Amino acid sequence: MERRRRQFAPVRALRAVHTLITKECSAQELWSAGSSAAALACLYCGYEVIRSTSNARFNSTCGAAQLPYLATVATPCATASLAGISKVVDHRGVRAACNAACAACAAGFIVAWAVHAASPAWACPSAVLIYLLRESYVMILSMQVWSFLNSSIRKAHAELLFGPIQAVGILGGTVGGLLVQQTIFSADTLLISTSLTAIAGFYGATRLGFVSAGEPSHDRPLVRFPVGTEDDGSKIYLAKGEVAKLTWREKVGLLEKSVVLQVLFVVTVMGEVVGSNVMFGFQRALQGSGPEDEQRRFSGRFYIFVNLTAGLMQITITPLVLSRFSLRTVHIGLAVAQTGTVLGMLAYPSIQKVALAYLMRKVQTYSVLQAAKQLSYIPLSFDARYHAKGIVDVLGARAGKAIASVVVICLDLQGATVTLFINAFVAVLACFAWLIATLCLPHKA
Selection from 17-31, 59-73, 179-193, 343-357 with the highest mean pLDDT: 343-357
Average pLDDT over residues 27-46: 89
Sort 264 into a burial class: Cβ within 10 Å, 0-12 / 13-18 / 19+: buried
Check residues 86 and 219 and name the one with the higher pLDDT: 86
Helix (H) / strand (E) element for 236: namely: strand 235-237
Pair 406, 280: CB distance under 8 Å: no
The pLDDT score that the predictor gives to residue 238 is 44
CA distance 353 to 337: 14
CA distance 358 to 362: 6
Please indicate, yes or no, whether residues 256 and 183 belong to a single structural domain of this protein. Answer: no
Please indicate, yes or no, whether residues 123 and 265 belong to a single structural domain of this protein. Answer: no
Which of 169, 198, 217 terminates a domain? The answer is 217
Please indicate, yes or no, whether residues 422 and 310 belong to a single structural domain of this protein. Answer: yes
Please indicate, yes or no, whether residues 172 and 258 belong to a single structural domain of this protein. Answer: no
Please indicate, yes or no, whether residues 200 and 101 belong to a single structural domain of this protein. Answer: yes
Please indicate, yes or no, whether residues 402 and 292 belong to a single structural domain of this protein. Answer: yes
CA distance 260 to 377: 9
Tally of domains in the chain = 2
Closest CA to 91 of 242, 210, 220: 242
Q: Is 288 helix (H, G, I), strand (E, B) or coil?
A: coil
Please indicate, yes or no, whether residues 266 and 212 belong to a single structural domain of this protein. Answer: no
The band of 218, judged by pLDDT with boundaries at 50, 70 and 90, is low
Closest CA to 144 of 199, 196, 107: 199
Each residue's pLDDT tens digit, 329-373: 999 999 999 999 999 988 887 778 888 898 899 888 888 898 899
Pair 383, 251: CB distance under 8 Å: yes
Whether residue 5 lies inside any domain: the answer is no
Which of 170, 194, 217 terminates a domain? The answer is 217
The pLDDT score that the predictor gives to residue 409 is 83
Which of 175, 198, 217 terminates a domain? The answer is 217
Closest CA to 45 of 194, 258, 217: 194
Closest CA to 161 of 412, 420, 371: 371
Range from 61-70, 176-185, 340-349, 389-398 carrying the lowest mean pLDDT: 176-185
What is the 8-class DSSP label of residue 122?
G
CA distance 293 to 275: 25
Please indicate, yes or no, whether residues 200 and 322 belong to a single structural domain of this protein. Answer: no
Q: Looking at residue 360, which CATH number applies to its domain?
A: 1.20.1250.20
CA distance 109 to 129: 9
Closest CA to 284 of 387, 421, 435, 429: 421
Please indicate, yes or no, whether residues 158 and 36 belong to a single structural domain of this protein. Answer: yes
Whether residue 20 lies inside any domain: the answer is no
The pLDDT score that the predictor gives to residue 243 is 55
Q: Is 1 helix (H, G, I), strand (E, B) or coil?
A: coil
Query: Domain range holding 89?
Result: 25-217
Whether residue 7 lies inside any domain: the answer is no
Within 13 Å of residue 174, how many CA atoms lie on the same side as its CB? 15
Whether residue 11 lies inside any domain: the answer is no
Whether residue 57 lies inside any domain: the answer is yes
The pLDDT score that the predictor gives to residue 185 is 61
The band of 271, judged by pLDDT with boundaries at 50, 70 and 90, is very high
CA distance 387 to 9: 37
Please indicate, yes or no, whether residues 262 and 195 belong to a single structural domain of this protein. Answer: no
Whether residue 234 lies inside any domain: the answer is no
Whether residue 244 lies inside any domain: the answer is no
Range from 35-39, 113-117, 257-261 carrying the lowest mean pLDDT: 113-117
Average pLDDT over residues 115-140: 83
Please indicate, yes or no, whether residues 324 and 396 belong to a single structural domain of this protein. Answer: yes
The pLDDT score that the predictor gives to residue 267 is 95
The pLDDT score that the predictor gives to residue 81 is 87
Q: What type of residue sits at position 425?
A: F
Classify each residue of 239-255 as buried b or exposed e, where b means 16 or more C-beta atoms within 10 Å of its C-beta: eeeebeebeeeebeebb
Whether residue 311 lies inside any domain: the answer is yes
Question: What is the pTM (predicted TM-score) of this model?
Answer: 0.81
Whether 2 shows a pLDDT value over 60: the answer reads: no
Whether 231 shows a pLDDT value over 60: the answer reads: no
The pLDDT score that the predictor gives to residue 237 is 44
Please indicate, yes or no, whether residues 179 and 88 belong to a single structural domain of this protein. Answer: yes
